[in-house]
Amino acid sequence: VARVTIEEARALCRASPVVDAHCDTLLKLGDGPGRGLGVARDDTHIDLPRLEGAGVAAQFFACYVETEPGARRALGRALQLIEAFHREVADSRGRLMAVTGVAGVWDAFHRGKVAGLLTLEGGAALQGYLSALKAFYRLGVRGVTLTWNFRNELADGVLETRTGGGLTRFGVEVVEEMGRLGMLVDVSHLSEAGFWQVLELARGPVVATHSNARAVCDHPRNLSDEQIKALAAKGGVMGLNAAPGFVRKTSGFSDSDARNEGATLGDLLDHAEHVIGLAGVDCLGLGLDFDGISSTPDGLEDVSRLPNLVLGLLERGHGPKTVTSLLGGNFLRVMKEVGMD
């Protein structure tokens, strides 16, 4: 074990922009004092004080839309969450900046602010309208996770196991339009058939914002070695996910596994090392899924523990260059490549 300190890890988190590509914190925000992002809270994994303390320069905020029967209409729900994000930006008095690309992230980084970026988790929010995608873009949305776990108008999700279909005609149109607009096409949660079609179709790199390696933890939400190699070959990035069920094999299945059954930060680092050995570090990033998961690995209890992850990488002998590309450099590269200047 290399001799490094948590202070060195903290310094690395501040040396270059840290980017986390997925959280569901918008779903945890309510109205009224103390219910927003601005003050320290104990019922979430993320708030502004902890993002600032951990040195996170850019946080992607997902607008997750329920697709189960009885769920609120997806388009309206996404608009509610987008409005909640912009309200948080306004309430933060400059601490949280709404940004849409790399220049905004660097600006926030240099000014010691947190850049917030909007994504949709589930193309169901489009309700079948390409015009909705364009309108969401104008509202600042720069990424779309094409599906959640089940079927929507774009494609089958990864748990749609009895059909396992790929993209629909509308799904193809959405991926093509996202390429024209300059948005991140996110294949986390997507069926395998859909994954390979998107890789074929996308003009630029593709991301899996919050998925781990299936070879380390055999879960359908994680990516196979073949998927990881293909994603990397197109210049894409996958974000490490802290959901215990995706980190270490347990009985849990969904994104929101109720309990952590023994997953540790070390287990998550095993995923990182597997991917580095398989495809190189350039395809690795962070998409820790905070506030979309109800439990966390030991040692990575919330975003304030991010320096622990860095310390673990340093202890395993990875150098600062590897660490900073994983912490954010790779996602920034992809953002630029898809046109998110």
Binding site for Zn ion (CB under 5 A): 255
Q: Which is nearer to Zn ion, 113 or 210 (CB)?
A: 210
Give me the least distance between CB of 20 and Zn ion, in Å please. Answer: 13
Q: Which is nearer to Zn ion, 16 or 295 (CB)?
A: 295
Give me the least distance between CB of 121 and Zn ion, in Å please. Answer: 6
Q: Which is nearer to Zn ion, 157 or 307 (CB)?
A: 157
Alpha-carbon gap, residue 82 to 285, rounded angstroms: 24
The C-alpha angle 225, 144, 111, rounded to 5 degrees, equals: 100
Alpha-carbon gap, residue 50 to 294, rounded angstroms: 18
* Token pair of 90 as six digits: 């306004």
Give me the least distance between CB of 54 and Zn ion, in Å please. Answer: 21
Q: With beta carbons less than 8 A apart as the criterion, state whether 66 and 72 touch.
A: yes
Q: Which is nearer to Zn ion, 105 or 242 (CB)?
A: 242
| CB count in 10 Å sphere of residue 78 | 26
Q: With beta carbons less than 8 A apart as the criterion, state whether 331 and 207 touch.
A: yes
Q: Which is nearer to Zn ion, 88 or 255 (CB)?
A: 255
Give me the least distance between CB of 228 and Zn ion, in Å please. Answer: 18
Phi, psi of 64 (to 5 degrees): -80, 130
Q: Which residues contact 237 (CB under 8 A, 6 or more apart)?
A: 21, 205, 207, 208, 231, 282, 283, 284, 285, 330, 331, 333, 334
Give me the least distance between CB of 44 and Zn ion, in Å please. Answer: 16
Q: With beta carbons less than 8 A apart as the criterion, state whether 256 and 303 touch.
A: no
Give me the least distance between CB of 217 and Zn ion, in Å please. Answer: 15
* Token pair of 10 as six digits: 């903290």
The upper half-sphere exposure of residue 236, i.e. CA atoms within 13 Å in the direction of its Cβ, equals: 30
Give me the least distance between CB of 21 and Zn ion, in Å please. Answer: 11
Distances (CA, A) of 192 to 67, 122, 298: 20, 16, 30
Q: Which is nearer to Zn ion, 213 or 314 (CB)?
A: 213
Q: Which is nearer to Zn ion, 255 or 257 (CB)?
A: 255
Q: Which is nearer to Zn ion, 255 or 267 (CB)?
A: 255
Residue in the shown chain whose Cβ atom is closest to Zn ion: 255
Give me the least distance between CB of 106 and Zn ion, in Å please. Answer: 27
Q: What is the DSSP letter of 118?
A: E
